[in-house]
């Protein structure tokens, strides 16, 4: 579920609750939640360790431990993390006792989320593109990146090995604001439009972080239990049938790469090859 702004918000709020805390015990209630090592070794490995730092890479959250190892996790569609006194819901797949008497709870309705205990990030992370908010992801990078691959824009931006952290919401929102149709071929995007896309992605993500992410249903809540506010600023995502907030044209929904895709046909003109498609 959560994309970069949601994971960033979660990590920021977990930081004061977790950094410096020692894990005094752990339980796993759904074995497949633990990607590696085996469940028992995971529990043994985290028990007694102090959490030194909480940070994020793409949509992954990372808890550095005091023995050089780290817990790396992904919330996928419906994962949530809390630091509370009591289990927050009926979907806790793993939980950790903290030395201040509270617990760290990993909850996930659909059981797609994963936790791993590793020494090096590459043991669990697939190849990942640059952080969208880093200096590396600038206009020049986007121009070169779009040219070097022959992909449809939307699937390319969703590809974590191209750029890290974007998901379905923020790709749709970024493409709309950049005036680019999701079915455009990456290598045919003019350089000036590619530069605009890079700037737009940074702006959209920054604004979403400012709003503490997006919550349009019950699944995303910050560790403080609050919904995000960015869904109020959506221009296309989930707005099919409603008027475009930029030009008034009805927002359309098509399917691209098996993903629901929202766009304004006036703000985002179709590429020639896609005319007549996507109905």
Partner DNA sequence: CAAGACTCCTGACGGC
Partner DNA sequence: TGCCGTCAGGAGTCTT
Contact footprint for DNA (CB under 7 A): 1-3, 6, 32, 58-59, 74, 76-77, 109-112, 126, 149-152, 155-156, 158, 160, 167-169, 213-217, 219-220, 256-260
Q: Which CB atom, from 27 or from 29, has the smaller least distance to DNA? A: 29
- The CA distance from 105 to 81, in Å, is 6
Q: Least distance in Å: CB of 207 to DNA? A: 15
Q: Which CB atom, from 21 or from 74, has the smaller least distance to DNA? A: 74
DSSP 8-state assignment for residue 102:
-
In 3D, which of 249, 277, 279 has the Cα closest to residue 183?
277
Q: Which CB atom, from 23 or from 63, has the smaller least distance to DNA? A: 63
Q: Least distance in Å: CB of 245 to DNA? A: 19
Q: Which CB atom, from 35 or from 199, has the smaller least distance to DNA? A: 35
Contacts of 52 (CB under 8 A, 6+ apart): 19, 20, 64, 65, 66
Q: Least distance in Å: CB of 167 to DNA? A: 2
Q: Which CB atom, from 64 or from 172, has the smaller least distance to DNA? A: 172
Q: Least distance in Å: CB of 98 to DNA? A: 26
SS3 79: strand
Contacts of 148 (CB under 8 A, 6+ apart): 187
H or E element, residue 80: strand 79-84
* Adjacent-strand bridge partners of 243: 250
SS3 107: strand
Positions marked active-site: 2-3, 59, 259
Q: Least distance in Å: CB of 176 to DNA? A: 15
The answer to whether 49 and 65 are in contact (CB under 8 A) is yes
Contacts of 209 (CB under 8 A, 6+ apart): 4, 5, 8, 9
């Amino acid at each position: 579920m959560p994309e970069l702004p949601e994971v960033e918000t979660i990590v920021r709020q977990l930081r004061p609750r977790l950094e410096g805390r020692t894990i005094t015990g752990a339980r796993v209630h759904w074995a497949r939640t633990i990607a590696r090592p085996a469940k028992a070794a995971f529990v043994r490995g985290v028990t007694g360790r102090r959490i030194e730092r909480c940070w994020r890479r793409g949509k992954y959250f990372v808890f550095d431990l005091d023995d050089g190892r780290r817990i790396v996790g992904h919330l996928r569609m419906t994962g949530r993390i809390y630091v509370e006194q009591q289990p927050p819901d009926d979907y806790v797949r793993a939980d950790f006792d903290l030395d201040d008497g509270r617990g760290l709870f990993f909850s996930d309705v659909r059981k797609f989320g994963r936790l791993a205990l590793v020494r090096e990030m590459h043991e669990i992370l697939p190849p990942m593109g640059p952080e969208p908010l880093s200096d590396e992801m600038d206009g020049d990078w986007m121009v070169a990146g779009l040219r070097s691959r022959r992909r449809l824009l939307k699937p390319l931006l969703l590809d974590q090995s191209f750029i890290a952290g974007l998901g379905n919401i923020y790709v749709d929102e970024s493409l709309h604001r950049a005036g680019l149709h999701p079915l455009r071929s990456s290598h045919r995007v003019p350089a000036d439009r590619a530069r605009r896309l890079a700037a737009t992605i940074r702006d959209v993500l920054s604004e979403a972080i400012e709003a503490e992410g997006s919550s349009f249903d019950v699944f995303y809540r910050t560790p403080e239990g609050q919904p995000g506010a960015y869904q109020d600023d959506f221009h296309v995502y989930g707005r099919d049938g409603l008027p475009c907030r930029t030009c008034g044209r009805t927002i359309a929904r098509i399917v691209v790469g098996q993903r629901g895709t929202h766009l304004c046909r006036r703000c985002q003109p179709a590429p020639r090859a896609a005319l007549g498609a996507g109905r």
